[in-house]
Structure formats: C-alpha cells, structure tokens
Amino acid sequence: MIPAAEYLQKLFGELPQLFQDEDALRLLWSKPMTRKELLKKLEERTGCGPQQLAELQRLIRAEDSDLFDVLEYVAFAAPPVSRAARADHARQKTLALLNSQQHEFIDFVLKRYVQAGVDELDTDKLPALLELKYRTVADGVELLGCSISSIRSSFIDFQGYLYEEAA
C-alpha cells in the first residue's frame, strides 16, 4: 500500500500535464465523458484510482466535496467546496431553464450526487436514475415531456453549473 502522501506527490507532478489551469480542469470535469477520460489518464499515469482519490479526499478533509475539489486543491491550492453547495448553485441556475418536471428530475439527481458523489453523474447511470425516479425509462420520458436525447442533453448540460467558479 502506498501512503496517501505519496499519491499526493504523484498527482502534484502529473496534474500540470493533464490540464493547464483551473478553467481547463473545470471544462474537462464538467462533462461526463471528458471527466471519465481524465480519471482514466490520471490512474494510468499515477496509479491513483477511485480508492486513492477517496483516501486523498479524507486526507484533505473534503469527504463532503467532489473529487474535482481534490484535484483543484492539489493543483491550485483551492479550498474544497461541498457537494451540497455545488448542488444548490446548479439548482438555482437550472430553475429558469427547465420546466417543473425536468427541474424535479435534476433536483433528484442533485440529491443523489450530494449523498453519493460524482459517480452519480455518469451518463451510464442515467437510465438507472430514470428508473429510480419514475419506475421505467419510458415513464420518465413521458412525464418529463421530452425525448431521451433531450433528457440526456439536460443531464450533461446542467453538470457545467456544478463546477462553475461561482459554485
């Protein structure tokens, strides 16, 4: 077992090669596919996977924060922001953009994110989230009043608000 401090040093050395500044990190992290690619590259280059990032999260006392905050803390010494604060910010930003049913679904997703973390925001989770909320994907599509591709777009788009600097 490698101590968390050693992973911290490895990350510190590798992160500048994966993104140049905070804006680049925000852009990569705010989209599920680029976030997944970043995490994969990070694990390949440093051996720092989900378990090690969770350990680092505990080390910096950011258990209620996002893994984004671990990376931002290591790379830029930025103080962690809680998932609850990020969710509140995103909730407010999406309020005017979505109809009430869509906003209710995004609110459901945000609550899951606050409880369980960033893994809840993976696009592979979308069908399961729709089933949890509405029993079936088809029921979710009907109640939300839009196509599955539109739901998927909203699911991806709202995530940008989670990682805005104002959050």
Strands (E), 32-149: none
pTM exceeds cut of 0.75: yes
Q: Which residue in 54, 104, 87, 84 sits closest to 159, CA to CA?
A: 87
- The alpha carbon dihedral of 141, 144, 145, 149 has a sign of negative
What whole-number distance in Å separates Cα of residue 88 and Cα of residue 132? 22
Q: First CA to last CA across the chain, in angstroms?
A: 35
Q: What is the DSSP letter of 79?
A: P
The pLDDT profile of the chain, 167 residues, written as one tens digit per residue, is 556 667 777 777 778 788 889 999 999 999 999 999 999 999 998 888 888 888 889 988 999 999 999 999 989 999 999 999 999 999 999 988 888 999 999 999 999 999 999 999 999 999 999 999 999 999 999 999 999 999 999 999 999 999 998 65
